[in-house]
Structure 1
Amino acid sequence: MHVRCAMLRVDPHERPRLDEIRVNLIARIAEAEHEGWLGEVDGLSVSLAAAEDKLAQLDAEAARRSTVVHLSLPTFSQIATRPTEPS
Structure 2
Amino acid sequence: MPRLQEIRSNLVDHLQEAKDQGWLGEVAAIETTMAATTQKLEAMRELAAQPSTVNPGMPDLLTTAGRLTPVREE
With normalisation by structure 1, the TM-score equals 0.57
Give the structure, 1 or 2, with the largest relative contact order (CA under 8 Å, sep 6 or more).
Answer: 1
User: How well do the aligned residues superpose, as a CA RMSD in angstroms?
Assistant: 1.5
**Structure 2: segments with no counterpart, 5+ residues:** 54-74
Distance in 2 of aligned mates of 1:44 and 1:34: 14
Q: Percent identity?
A: 43
Gaps (5+ residues) in structure 1? 1-14, 69-87
TM-score by length of 2: 0.66
Partner of 2:58: none
* Cα separation, 2, equivalents of 1:26 and 1:20: 10
Deviations, residues 12-32 of structure 1 (Å, cap 9, x unaligned): xxx111011000000000000
| Cα distance in structure 2, aligned partners of 1:45 and 1:65 | 33
Q: Which of structures 1 and 2 has the bigger CA Rg?
A: 2
Q: Which runs of 4+ in 1 moved over 6 A?
A: none
